[in-house]
């Protein structure tokens, strides 16, 4: 099996790659921006970190938009963190940034007045929070509903079509932390940094038979 | 709900854990990979490595340590100590670190924090503060000053002002160590923790002084910290991370079990 971890120069992908290798021993796991390899891969992991505008610029610099959009149509595709956000149409970050427009929805910042029981909540949302599975899905196999995953982000996504939400987390407000549509699954948290639950999700992705 | 984090800290000198970690069945107490793996198994939410290597020749070893740990331990890793340039930061992030702690370099050149967070993102930049209580003019309102070089060098800078300024410059988190409490095992400086937590909008990790599990809990309930860091109580096997989490749960604190 060939797994392509799409590298467009935004952030360290070593941990993602190591975590995927850990759960897919016999797979050929490559961190790459090579369109030919991405086309030929059986699984696509699409990570990312940093600001929305920088991510979009990097995707464009690496001439990856087409390859990403194609891959997202026809084979198991896992978006992680910014790899979820940039699938949307638009982000409010950097005074507004147009994104890949694969999923109707937008990325918005957590409000400044978030609070819980009167105490102000910090942004970025950093740490381990619970994920409520809002849809049955092979990627949730053997992961207990309400398991904690590791987050680091200031923006979250708002979907136009709520039926593709596969997971929800609460941080002062409930927000969509996972989406699923056909061959595509994308999460706001970092499975590669989420210990057992995260590795299980990655394993489920490798075993996912769409 | 977001869990409060428990973060064990490992001091690394030339690629080896110093003080040793006294796990019952660990083969090599000085091996950072083994120590990190064990903390991960106990349920650590994150691991911090503090590189105390003195010579620059040996500094490359921390990068290799991070590479090895990150290949086997899939939780967030923070590395602090001796980081001076954006290229130092990039090397550590590329090795598998998620965050880096910046201390003396920020004091020397505050713009470094702005530059670093611009380049790699605020979420990767932890501002480390070593603070010591000073006598204030009115003798009533407590005040803290920041120290550098392992707490040896005074700067005259007010810790709370420094924290808010560095957050403005892009620090995504604050690792706050009380020099007065560090090593005492008498608990955190809760007043300091509370003051800084209330002053900034980013998460604060309380550090320095933990001697028992109640100290950890107080850091959260009284200090308002988002995470608590400790070294010796975990190193010497006094408590496991799991025990700490069970204790905090009993105190009504949300943790990842």
What's the pLDDT at B23? 67
DSSP string, B73-114: --S-EEEESS--SHHHHHHHHHHT-SEEEE-HHHHH-THHHH
Closest C-alpha among A82, A49, A173 to residue B99: A49
User: What confidence category does residue A198 fall into, taking pLDDT thresholds of 50, 70 and 90?
Assistant: very high
Residue A192: active-site member? yes
Query: Cβ separation of B122 and A124 shorter than 8 Å?
Result: yes
Whether A127 contacts chain B with CB within 8 A: yes
> How many Cβ atoms are within 10 Å of B161's Cβ, its own excluded?
12
Q: What are phi and psi of B28, to 5 degrees?
A: -130, 105
User: Which one of A80, A109, A127 would you mutate to disrupt binding with B, by most B Cβ within 10 Å of its Cβ?
Assistant: A127
- Cβ–Cβ under 8 Å, residues A125 and A154: yes
Q: How many domains does chain A have?
A: 1
What's the pLDDT at A48? 85
Residue B130: active-site member? yes
User: What confidence category does residue B153 fall into, taking pLDDT thresholds of 50, 70 and 90?
Assistant: confident
Distance between CA atoms of residues A22 and B183, nearest Å: 38
Whether B223 contacts chain A with CB within 8 A: no
Which A residues, 45 through 104, put their C-beta within 8 Å of a C-beta on chain B? 49-51
pLDDT in tens, A102-113: 999 999 999 988
Parallel/antiparallel/unpaired status of strands A155-159 and A105-109:
antiparallel
Distance between CA atoms of residues A20 and A205, nearest Å: 9
Query: Cβ separation of B74 and A130 shorter than 8 Å?
Result: no
Which residues are bridge partners to A28 per DSSP? A2
DSSP A122: P
Distance between CA atoms of residues A59 and A103, nearest Å: 17
Whether B226 contacts chain A with CB within 8 A: yes
Whether A122 contacts chain B with CB within 8 A: yes
Distance between CA atoms of residues A23 and A206, nearest Å: 8
Parallel/antiparallel/unpaired status of strands B204-207 and B173-178:
parallel
Distance from CA of B73 to the nearest CA of A (A): 8
Least CB–CB distance from B98: residue in A153, A170, A193: A193
What's the pLDDT at A112? 85
Distance from CA of B62 to the nearest CA of A (A): 16
- The radius of gyration computed from the CA coordinates of chain A, to the nearest angstrom, equals 16
Domain that holds residue A140: 2-207
pLDDT in tens, B196-224: 999 999 999 999 999 999 999 999 999 99
Q: Residue A44's domain is classified under what CATH number?
A: 3.40.50.880
Query: Cβ separation of A195 and B226 shorter than 8 Å?
Result: no
Distance between CA atoms of residues B240 and B249, nearest Å: 14
What's the pLDDT at A2? 97
Distance from CA of B75 to the nearest CA of A (A): 4
Q: Residue range B92-96: average pLDDT?
A: 91
User: What confidence category does residue B151 fall into, taking pLDDT thresholds of 50, 70 and 90?
Assistant: confident
Which residues are bridge partners to B91 per DSSP? none
- Cβ–Cβ under 8 Å, residues B22 and B29: yes
Whether B203 contacts chain A with CB within 8 A: yes
Distance between CA atoms of residues A86 and A89, nearest Å: 8
Distance from CA of A54 to the nearest CA of B (A): 10
- Cβ–Cβ under 8 Å, residues B126 and B170: no
The residue in chain A having the minimum alpha-carbon distance to the alpha carbon of residue B257 is: A148
**A contacts of B69 (beta carbons < 8 Å):** none
The residue among A178 and B18 whose pLDDT is bigger is: A178
Whether B5 contacts chain A with CB within 8 A: yes
Q: What are phi and psi of B95, to 5 degrees?
A: -75, -15
User: What is the pLDDT of chain B when averaged over all its residues?
Assistant: 92
Q: Structure pTM? A: 0.94
Which B residues, 95 through 124, put their C-beta within 8 Å of a C-beta on chain A? 95-98, 120-123
């Amino acid at each position: 099996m060939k797994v392509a971890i799409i590298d467009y120069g935004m952030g360290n992908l070593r941990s993602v790659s190591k975590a995927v290798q850990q759960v897919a021993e016999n797979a050929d796991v490559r961190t790459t921006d090579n369109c030919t390899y991405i086309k030929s891969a059986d699984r696509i992991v699409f990570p990312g970190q940093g600001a929305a505008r920088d991510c979009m610029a990097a995707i464009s610099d690496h001439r990856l938009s087409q390859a990403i959009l194609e891959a997202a149509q026809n084979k198991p595709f896992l978006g992680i963190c910014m790899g979820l956000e940039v699938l949307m149409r638009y982000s409010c970050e950097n005074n507004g940034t147009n994104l890949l427009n694969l999923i109707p929805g937008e990325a918005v910042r957590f409000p400044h007045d978030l609070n819980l029981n009167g105490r102000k909540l910090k942004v970025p949302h950093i740490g381990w929070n619970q994920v409520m599975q809002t849809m049955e899905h092979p990627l949730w196999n053997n992961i207990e509903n309400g398991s904690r995953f590791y987050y680091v982000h200031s923006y979250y996504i708002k979907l136009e079509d709520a039926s593709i939400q596969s997971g929800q987390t609460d941080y002062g407000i409930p927000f969509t932390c996972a989406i699923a549509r056909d061959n595509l699954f994308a999460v706001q948290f970092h499975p590669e940094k989420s210990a057992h639950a995260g590795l299980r999700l990655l394993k489920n992705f490798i075993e996912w038979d769409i | 709900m977001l869990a409060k984090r428990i973060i064990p800290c490992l001091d690394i000198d030339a690629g080896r854990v110093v003080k040793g970690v006294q796990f019952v069945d660990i083969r090599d107490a000085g091996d950072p990979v083994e120590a990190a793996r064990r903390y991960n198994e106990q349920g650590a939410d994150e691991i911090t490595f503090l590189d105390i290597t003195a010579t620059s020749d040996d500094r490359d070893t921390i990068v290799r340590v991070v590479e090895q740990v990150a290949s086997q331990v899939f939780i967030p890793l923070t590395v602090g100590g001796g980081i001076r340039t954006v290229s130092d930061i990039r090397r550590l992030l590329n090795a598998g670190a998620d965050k880096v702690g910046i201390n003396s370099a920020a004091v020397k050149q505050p713009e470094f924090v702005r530059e670093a967070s611009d380049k790699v993102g605020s979420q990767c930049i932890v501002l480390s503060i070593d603070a010591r209580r000073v006598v204030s003019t009115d003798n009533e309102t407590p005040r803290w000053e920041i120290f550098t070089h392992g707490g040896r060098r005074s700067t005259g800078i007010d810790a709370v002002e420094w924290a808010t300024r560095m957050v403005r410059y892009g620090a995504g988190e604050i690792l706050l160590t009380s020099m007065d409490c560090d090593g005492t095992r008498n608990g955190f400086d809760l007043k300091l923790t509370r003051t800084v937590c209330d002053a900034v909008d980013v998460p604060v990790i309380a550090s320095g002084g933990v001697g028992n599990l109640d100290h950890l809990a107080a850091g959260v309930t009284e200090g308002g910290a988002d995470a608590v860091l400790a070294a010796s109580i975990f190193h010497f096997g006094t408590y496991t991370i799991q025990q700490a989490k069970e204790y905090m749960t009993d105190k009504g604190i949300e943790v990842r079990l």
